[in-house]
A and B are shown apart, each in its own frame.
Chain A
Amino acid sequence: MHRYPRWPIHLTLLGVSFVMLVPFYWVLKTSVSGENIFAYPPSVIPKNPHLFYYVDVWYYIPFARYFLNSVIVSFLCVAANVVFNAMAGYALTRGFAGKSLVLMLFLSCMMVPFQATIIPAYLMTGRLGLLDSHLGLALPQMSTIVCIFVFKASFDAVPRSLIDAAKIDGLSEWRIVWRVMMPLAKAAIATNVILGFIWSWNNFLWPLIVTRSADMQTLPLGLARFLSYQEDTTGALYAFCIMVLAPGILLFLLAQKEFIRGLTSGATKG
């Protein structure tokens, strides 16, 4: 089927790509020049680009602190997701009394978006004494149902005879999960890591509610706060924006296939 001409397709896609990329360029340009914050008309190509705004960010805000908080919370989320979801996913491959009840509970929990529970979730976190702590920030996202099912599907594909062989060799259930199942579920682990990371790294609403002190702010919070203090008066805001976006874009480009597979399998996150 090579009869249709190609150039209209390329033209359309180039146009769309342009629309997708221009906002990045515009912000990048402002972050290295800051020139059109006060001046009209804006220049399309930056004159005298400089990196002073990137330096400013370090003076205006504790960027390293925000970054560290984000890393700690994301790490807690990712590690907990892999371990807890793998355990639950393995349990669901077994037959046991009450399994259908658990499955029903999981499937109905998927219908409850986090936004529908924020008030009691906040009060609950307060009762647990976890407000304004890394653990409190991470806890609600430490296990996700979609990811449990990703692990379950992956474990279901492991042949039964392999597990039986491991049992005859005297491995405990715990070791079967870690030594036999996990190495065979690399794709599921990658999906868990990526989803856990994206959901915690980008999360804004929950940190906004739970965080009290400036020391506990994560990157999205710091960005929003910086905006409310400075409005659009400084190029440093856009430099900050680029500094926040760059690691994400880099990670995405490095592991594109895994990202896309992970995100599509976690499409209907509850």
Chain B
Amino acid sequence: MSAAATHPEAPGRPRLLARKRVRQTMLVWCFLLPSLAIFLIYRVIPLGWNFVLSFQDWSPMRPARWAGLDHYEEMFFHDEVFWTACWNTLIFMASAPLAIAMALGLALLVNADIRGRDVYRTIIFISYPLMTVAVAIIWRWMFDERVGLINYVAREAGLVDRPIPFLNSFTWALPSVIAANIWQMLGFYMIILLTGLQNIPQNLYEAAAIDGAAARHRFRRITLPLLKPSLFLCFVIGMLNSFTSFDLVYVMTGGGPARATELLVTYIYKLSFVQTKFDYAAAVTVFFFVLLIVVAWGANRLSGGNAGAVEAD
């Protein structure tokens, strides 16, 4: 419905009305202009440019040449680091359900009618909005081989004989980074699930209790189904987080030791801004983006529809 058509001062003067409508449309586009310009410059054009670049041989100060599928061939068949990065990204993503399960438990606990629950909520949430670079430095220090708190406690408790070099070991580096990530994300998942819990009508539980449903049945039959949208939102966030986590890995391990914690994002960054292989990095980016879309689409299908929609319009 056009705004101009319902305008109260719309008498039978068609030319004036038409001019007014043109002016209104112009104004609307003027209002949209700054945002549209930013999205064009930083989303739409780069996406296309990146796509074109991935089929070219190009580096700064050199004219572009057509390269066809060369970069993709190198990526899929001759680049082991690429596959390591893919694999690590997927492992990182697989840690999200674990974190969400823990957050669900916490959400149920802080939703209980207990004293001081606001304080608990604040404490658990506080790590989320903090600067990830600082969080990474904190956790580097916690995982430190010689004097880190974790090694200290493990040694005092007699769990290990020799300190574990968490961030310098092939087996432990990725789990350590994931642990730090979970520490930061946990409170956020918890708050989202808590909001979901609070939106469940209480009388459902009362009715179920009167009908004699046990607590675990109430959880299975009422809480979980009604919490599905919140849970799905958490999965989407966890997925995006695994694809976009750069700061934590970059500062904690730099992708090392020997690529054990290399993610797709850190690999793309290194390829383009350390090795200046922009063209090849563009091909990896195209794969990165396609993978993200496929995973998001798959998750959306699994959730059974448009649970990821932000705005119903």
Chain A positions near chain B (C-beta within 8 angstroms): 1-2, 6, 9-10, 12-13, 16-17, 19-24, 26-27, 30, 36-37, 39-42, 80, 83-85, 87-88, 90-92, 94-97, 102-103, 105-107, 109-124, 128, 139-140, 142-143, 145-146, 148-149, 152-153, 164, 167-168, 173, 177, 198, 201-202, 204-205, 208-209, 219-220, 223-224, 227, 232, 237-238, 241, 244-245, 248-249, 252-253, 256, 259-260, 263-264, 267-269
In the complex formed, the residue of A with least CB distance to B246 is: A205
A109-B44, A115-B265, A223-B137 known; A139 and B38 CB under 8 Å?
A: yes
A39–B144 alpha-carbon span in the complex (Å): 13
Q: State the majority secondary structure of interface residues on A.
A: helix
- The CA of A123 and the CA of B240, in the complex, are separated in Å by 24
Chain B residue, CB-CB nearest to A127: B41
- Interface, chain B (partner A; CB < 8 A): 1-3, 7-9, 24-25, 27-29, 31-32, 34-36, 38-39, 41-47, 49-50, 53, 106, 109-110, 112-114, 120, 122-134, 137-142, 144, 146-147, 149, 152, 156, 183, 186-188, 191-192, 195, 205, 209, 233, 236-237, 240, 243-244, 246-247, 250-251, 265, 268-269, 272-273, 278, 281-282, 285, 288-289, 292-293, 296, 308, 310-311, 313
Interface of chain B: mostly helix, strand, loop or mixed: helix
Instruction: Return the chain B residue nearest A142 by Cβ.
Output: B38
Indicate if the CB atoms of B123 and A21 lie closer than 8 Å. Answer: yes
- Are A168 and B139 closer than 8 Å at their CB atoms? no
Task: Find chain B residues with CB under 8 A from A85 CB.
Answer: 35
Q: Who on chain A is nearest to B286 by CB?
A: A116
A13–B205 alpha-carbon span in the complex (Å) = 24
B106 / chain A contacts, CB cutoff of 8 Å: 13, 16
Asked if B109 and A12 make an inter-chain contact with CB atoms under 8 angstroms apart, the answer reads yes
Contact A204 B133 (CB under 8 A): yes
Partner of B147, one of A40, A149, A173, A209: A40
Who on chain B is nearest to A160 by CB? Answer: B6
In the bound complex, do residue A16 and residue B124 qualify as a contact, i.e. CB atoms below 8 Å apart? yes
Closest chain B CB from A32 CB (angstroms) = 14
Which 7 residue pairs of A and B lie closest in terms of their CB atoms, listed nearest first? A120-B46, A117-B46, A120-B49, A91-B31, A88-B35, A143-B35, A87-B31
| B129 contacts A105, C-beta separation under 8 Å | no
Asked whether A102 lies within 8 Å of B32 as measured between CB atoms, the reply is: yes
- Tell me the bound Cα distance from A92 to B191 in angstroms: 30
Closest to B122 in A: A256
CA distance A92 to B128 in the complex (A): 31
A96 touches B132 (CB 8 A): no
Contact of B42 among A90, A139, A201, A223 (CB under 8 A): A139
Verify A42–B46 contact, CB threshold 8 A.
no
**Contact between chains at A26 and B149 (CB < 8 Å):** yes
Complex formed: what's the CA distance from A124 to B308 in Å? 31
Given A13-B110, A42-B149, A116-B292, 6 further pairs, Cβ under 8 A: A17-B120, A23-B149, A84-B35, A124-B49, A146-B310, A244-B134
Task: Indicate whether A106 sits within 8 Å of B39 (C-beta atoms), given known contacts A17-B124, A119-B53.
Answer: yes
The answer to whether A227 and B137 have CB atoms under 8 Å apart is yes
A residues near B289, Cβ cutoff 8 Å: 112, 116
Contact B112 A9 (CB under 8 A): yes
Q: Are A105 and B147 in contact (CB under 8 A)?
A: no
Rounded to whole Å, the gap between the CB of B117 and the closest CB of chain A is 8
A149-B309 Cα distance, complex, nearest whole Å: 12
User: Once the chains are docked, how many angstroms separate the CA of A123 from the CA of B276?
Assistant: 12
Which one of A6, A107, A115, A143 lies within 8 Å of B38 (CB-CB)? A143
